[in-house]
Amino acid sequence: MSFITGVGLTPFGKHEGSSSLDLMSKAAQAALDDAGLRRADIDGVLCGYSTVSPHIMLATVFAEHFGIRPSYAHAVQVGGATGLAMTMLAHHLVDAGVARNVLVVAGENRLTGQSRDASIQALAQVGNPDYEVPLGPTIPAYYGLVASRYMHEYGVTEEDLAEFAVLMRAHACTHPGAQFHDPITVADVMASKPVAMPLKLLDCCPVSDGGAAFVVSRERTGEAGVRIRGCAQAHTHQHVTAAPSLSELGAEISIARAREATGLAISDVRYAAIYDSFTITLAMLLEDLGLAGRGEAAARVRAGHFGRGGVMPLNTHGGLLSYGHCGVGGAMAHLVEAHLQMTGRAASRQVRDASIALLHGDGGVLSSHVSMFLERVR
């Protein structure tokens, strides 16, 4: 058993003059304060990777910078799934007695700490070095290919995808730390400039500065506990040219394993925190996870199903699409928001019931998947 005892999150956007380590430290201290712990209480550290500060020993670099000497330190790299993969590892570490309090932390100054060209170059290196990189695509192009195929097979339209961007922006407008606060419409998404058709600018997450952290502990420290009920992973491929068919991607595998591990059904879930690097990512994952039928997620958005007051509130902070995306910390913001919702601390964003939350992270081009259930305990 393990509990998420504290969470910390910086605003996302521009943090001029702040390094990745600065942003990580700010989020980490906020998480410790939230948990009521001191730095000396932390005996395990898990760090996500950084494209701006790509040190091969980032976990111990951070520990030195933060002034702690953990008995366990490790850095993890599985793309956008890294945050939940670190949470899963922390869960196993405290459950096995290896550590009592594991600090999970990530952050980058991706927006102000690297040039546009450097950012594009980093995004261009994720492809297969022989069959993909020489042709020049970047991550948006790969997801554009997936989107085209998904739209063809399930009758999804560009307007359908735009609904997810509109919803995430509406949720971000209620969070003071979000990168974007201007409401948008489907027409705005459709009119935004093409990036990798059918994906347009507002179908894509932004580049951000920011940091996120949380503490996974063997024992609860607060009045309302949030425990990790169970989790699972699936890794079906790395490069899009080796991907299985759309009906055999890893999200369906990982959610089935997580459900088996926990004994929970999708009908038990009251709040969803789902990775949303692109609108197509969110649409596909909602359907792969069983939160909507094939090709039906957009209709549920239009009906208010995933709104703050809907049947299944989703990413109430605005997600990657509008709260922002600072690398590994971007997806970790989903867990921070879930924790705030589950402990009744989400202010004006608070939903009626977040007693059981489903979280899902996706890394690569729908390559690596982590599904996780959190449960509130009194």
DSSP 3-state of 364: coil
Residue 203 lies in a domain: no
Q: Tell me how long the chain is.
A: 378
Residue 67 lies in a domain: yes
Asked if 330 and 46 touch (Cβ cutoff 8 Å), the reply is: no
**CATH code for the domain of 16:** 3.40.47.10
Longest pairwise C-alpha distance within the chain: 55
Q: Which two tokens stand for residue 287?
A: 């359907």
* Beta pairing class for 101-109 and 44-48: parallel
Residue 85 lies in a domain: yes
Residue 29 lies in a domain: yes
pLDDT score, position 260: 98
pLDDT score, position 116: 83
pLDDT digits (tens, 9 = 90+) for 48-69: 999 898 889 999 999 999 999 9
Cα 281 from Cα 185, distance rounded (Å): 19
What is the number of structural domains in the chain? Answer: 1
pLDDT digits (tens, 9 = 90+) for 221-245: 877 799 999 999 999 999 999 999 9
Backbone angles phi, psi at 263, to 5 degrees: 75, 10
190: alpha, beta or left, given left = phi > 0 and alpha = psi -120 to 50?
Answer: alpha
Q: What is the pTM of this model?
A: 0.97
pLDDT score, position 125: 81
Asked if 372 and 214 touch (Cβ cutoff 8 Å), the reply is: no
pLDDT score, position 200: 98
Residue 336 lies in a domain: no
* Beta pairing class for 225-235 and 368-377: antiparallel
Asked if 156 and 283 touch (Cβ cutoff 8 Å), the reply is: yes
pLDDT score, position 103: 98
Domain span holding position 89: 2-114+208-217
pLDDT score, position 54: 84
19: Cβ–Cβ under 8 A, 6 or more apart, which residues? 53, 109, 113
Q: Tens-of-pLDDT digits for all 378 residues of the chain?
A: 899 999 999 999 999 999 999 999 999 999 999 999 999 999 999 999 998 988 899 999 999 999 999 999 999 999 999 999 999 999 999 999 999 999 999 999 999 998 888 888 877 888 999 999 999 899 999 999 999 999 999 999 999 999 999 999 999 999 999 999 999 999 999 999 999 999 999 999 999 999 999 999 999 987 779 999 999 999 999 999 999 998 889 999 999 999 999 999 999 999 999 999 999 999 999 999 999 999 999 999 999 999 999 999 999 999 999 999 999 999 999 999 999 999 999 999 999 999 999 999 999 999 999 999 999 998
Cis peptide bond upstream of 198, omega within 30: yes
pLDDT score, position 222: 76
Tell me how far the alpha carbon of residue 253 is from its chain's centroid: 18
Residue 325 lies in a domain: no
pLDDT score, position 221: 87
pLDDT score, position 247: 84
**Numbers of helices and strands, H then E, in the chain:** 11, 11
What is the H or E stretch that residue 227 is in?
strand 225-235
Residue 36 lies in a domain: yes
Backbone angles phi, psi at 185, to 5 degrees: -120, 170
Asked if 98 and 44 touch (Cβ cutoff 8 Å), the reply is: yes
Residue 70 lies in a domain: yes
